[in-house]
Structure 1
């Protein structure tokens, strides 16, 4: 080691002017460059610093100074790892020692006069080499400490899965609160870890939480918030190149696009979503159902019916971890497919197709245990059944279909249900029903139902879309 140090010292002492210039370019601060040029080690710097502090105190008529400097502080000063100015009396001592302002000393040596640069030949010793090794080890240790326990990420994953699966049986306000909390936790994890594997898990949890937040924002009546959160989920999915998450988020954006009156954009977004890799049958079925709805809004009966048939025929046996393994709000079971297809048939004016699909949805839902029936989906299926019967002028059948919906608690009256109810309210004003006592009474009940709904109070002032 001694031979190496002597060789290094000889190399620096005999440096050419070019090498001195290169040394200046390497220096992180003017202070570091001046220390190098003087050939000072930390021990020499400390002695000179203490001496300068005593001289300043004597000149000011103050008691002898005991100011000193620790090696770690010295390294921080010379390496430029200081925010602001050092504490008293360091600025005055450093300026006394070197003749430059402390701001200049702690800044890169860009303006140092050439005559000063060549005055001293730099040197290093074993202390410098050892401190360099300690700095490198400390930096590596800091990087290694930027991680989180895997069990913490396991709990976050479990909480996201539980919320997604319990979405349709949990109060919308509670879903909002919990999904927001999970998104905050995932974002905090991203700030605390630099381990690639952990960051990928945290990004996925953040994207899933944002997707659930988007869904509940829509149910609560806020289309702009839902759109923004779906885009957030899509971006998180893009960061980790997670095909199912990106497909889910783009499908949600397509759904929100036709609710915002942009069905052509919805078709384009579905096409994009279908191109992501790793999608299973459930993901493709969901996208085809959304595509059918978009074509229904466009009045393209051929394309809409083709999408509906394709959705029902999707059976390759392929699964993915989001739509199938987690499922819940990310899933798209047959009852939800039937309910959504009923809405597509209504958009096409096909009362028979809508009634058949709505009855199929209610039958499938009825086969589930009561505590596993998604209230939002069943309510929308009841309203779509009523709309199908209204198309045929069966007012008695409309009232019978709506009775279960009228009993739904206010917090479960989501935006989709309210818009469907609004379509019935509008159709009751048509010539065939105008003035009929049953129609008047039913219209008033719908208005009361809507006025009391949480989504109506929380959402935007304008209707989200015209579904009928």
Structure 2
């Protein structure tokens, strides 16, 4: 049997990193339910292996074709045809070929240079920034691959220069790539590795004396500690970041304040958590800048993210009205620009409504959760899906068909994200 894919269908399955029938069936069935809420097709193991097996392939039923087209982004006729090759007339593949060619040419040019050109460093800086800005719309696993490559490029270039300014700049870029890696690995559910990468980013920042990067790395360590049920450790890391003094812009301070508020709420310090929540609007209005957080994307902390986190904290300390208000505002701001934030805000809002017995309205606001692709569901969202599933098990919803349907969809989110049991808090 050949190691290469025989069809575009098989090729697309491999490109997404799905490992066998279970992963494919989870994504397929989730897409089918979104297209056909009542009587959608399901993928059986026999059908899966028939589609990928050798021999002549006839197209599936129209509803199955519709699911495959939505899931994989190609017409069904094309999916059951040959895989993409280097055909210059294949528009889909041409974009990838151009990108690969540009990267190979840049690598070859760098290897032949007697010294590092400033243009080379500029190019790497742009790549790191682009990876950070694209993070909200890319699967975390893809950023793991990209971030690793960027860090390795920065390290190779550091070894080729003795110019102090260039060495420092490349140290910062290696640290930024490590910081981005730590967040992506966290969203893949690997918290110990994420913590190690965040510390690595912090070490790069210390060497380069880059305060914003130090603050970001410490904030990530605090965020990881919070999700591991260690609020005291989370607060310790935030205080270390605060002790760095000036140099951190408004978005960086927003991020640290949001993490601290959530940790305080989990720690039981309701008064201080409420105090930080009350200052949310004031923090949103601040305009100080820095070279890291103003890149945006994952390195930034937008108003939508700030409000989403405020809603989560309010929910944690039992302030339902504030949670509802902040989550609605976050949902409105993030619906287009950051679907991951929108999905988190939607679940928080749904939880508030469920606690108030408003099942029908909760079902309506949860749409962003179901619409988010399985590969983009990170750890924070998976934990929320676990809390949503628990809330739907309340006795008041025991005999509700709608509650049962929502609970099943929440379980689908947990399965599709290859989630372990939700972590504390």
The two structures have a TM-score, normalised by structure 2, of 0.70
Question: What whole-Å deviation, never above 9, does each CA across 1:372-398 have from its counterpart, x for those lacking one?
Answer: x11211111111110111121211122
Larger Rg: 1
Distance of 1:445 and 1:149 partners within structure 2: 52
CA shift at 1:407, angstroms?
A: 2.4
C-alpha contact 1:146 1:195 (8 A) present in aligned 2: no
Aligned to 1:348: 317
What is the aligned partner in structure 2 of residue 287 from structure 1? 256
SS of the counterpart of 1:329? Answer: coil
The corresponding residue for 1:203 is 171
- Look up the match of 1:421: 385
Q: Is 1:301 aligned with 2:270?
A: yes
1:120-171 CA-to-partner distances (Å, cap 9, x unmatched) read xxxxxxxxxxxxxxxxxxxxxxxxx995222211111111111111111223
Q: 3-state SS of the aligned residue for 1:321?
A: coil
Q: Which residue of 2 aligns with 1:319?
A: 289
Structure 2: runs of 5 or more not aligned? 1-112
Q: In the superposition, relative to structure 1, how do residues 350 and 316 fare at CA in structure 2: closer, same or farther (>3 Å)?
A: closer
Relative distance call for 1:462 and 1:406 in structure 2 (3 A) is closer
- 1:316 positional shift: 4.8
Deviates more, 1:305-314 or 1:232-241: 305-314
* Deviation of 1:331 (Å): 0.7
Q: In structure 1, what is the Cα distance between the partners aligned to 2:324 and 2:422?
A: 25
Structure 1 position 404, deviation (Å): 2.7
Structure 2 CA distance, aligned partners of 1:452 and 1:316?
Answer: 39
Secondary structure at the aligned position of 1:432 is classed as: helix
Instruction: Deviation per CA, 1:96-123: give whole Å up to 9, x if none.
Output: xxxxxxxxxxxxxxxxxxxxxxxxxxxx
* Corresponding position of 1:463: 422
Please tell me whether residue 331 in structure 1 is matched to residue 310 in structure 2: no
Distance in 1, matches of 2:371 and 2:249, equals 37
Please give the alpha-carbon distance, in whole angstroms, between the structure 2 residues aligned to 1:184 and 1:462: 33
How far apart, CA to CA, are the structure 1 residues paired with 2:269 and 2:200? Answer: 31
Kindly provide the CA deviation profile for residues 241-260 of structure 1, in whole angstroms up to 9, marking residues without a partner as x.
11000001101111111101
- Please give the alpha-carbon distance, in whole angstroms, between the structure 2 residues aligned to 1:311 and 1:394: 27
Moved over 6 A (4+): none
Unmatched segments (≥5 aa) in structure 1:
1-144
Whether the 8 Å contact between 1:375 and 1:412 is mirrored in structure 2 is no
Residue deviations 1:222-245, cap 9 Å, x none?
111111111111110000111000
1:296 Cα offset (Å)? 1.2
Structure 2 equivalent of residue 132 of structure 1? none
**Aligned 8 A contact 1:164 1:328 in 2:** yes
| Cα drift, residue 295 of structure 1 | 0.7
CA distance in 2, matches of 1:271, 1:338: 22
Instruction: Return the match for 1:402 from 337, 357, 366.
Output: 366
Match of 1:166, SS state, is helix
CA contact (8 A) 2:331 2:341 kept: no
SS in 1 for 2:279: helix
- Cα distance in 1 for residues equivalent to 2:404 and 2:137: 33
Distance 1:409 1:284 in 2: 30
1:62-211 map, 5 Å? 147-211=115-179
User: Number of residue pairs matched?
Assistant: 311
The Cα offsets for residues 409-459 of structure 1, whole Å up to 9 and x where unpaired, read as 111111111110100111222233234333222212211222122x52xxx
Q: Quick one: distance in 1 between partners of 2:158 and 2:345? A: 40
1:269-295, CA deviations, whole angstroms, 9 ceiling, x for partnerless residues?
111111223111111111111110111
Q: In the aligned structure 1, how far is the partner of 2:135 from the partner of 2:412?
A: 26
Counterpart in 1 of 2:342? 378
Cα RMSD for the two superposed structures: 1.7
Tell me, yes or no, if the aligned pair for 2:311 and 2:326 is still in contact at 8 Å: yes
Write the distance in 1 (CA, Å) between the matches of 2:414 and 2:190.
Answer: 16
The answer to whether structure 1 residue 229 and structure 2 residue 191 are counterparts is: no
d(CA) in 2 for partners of 1:162, 1:175: 11
Match of 2:187 in 1: 219
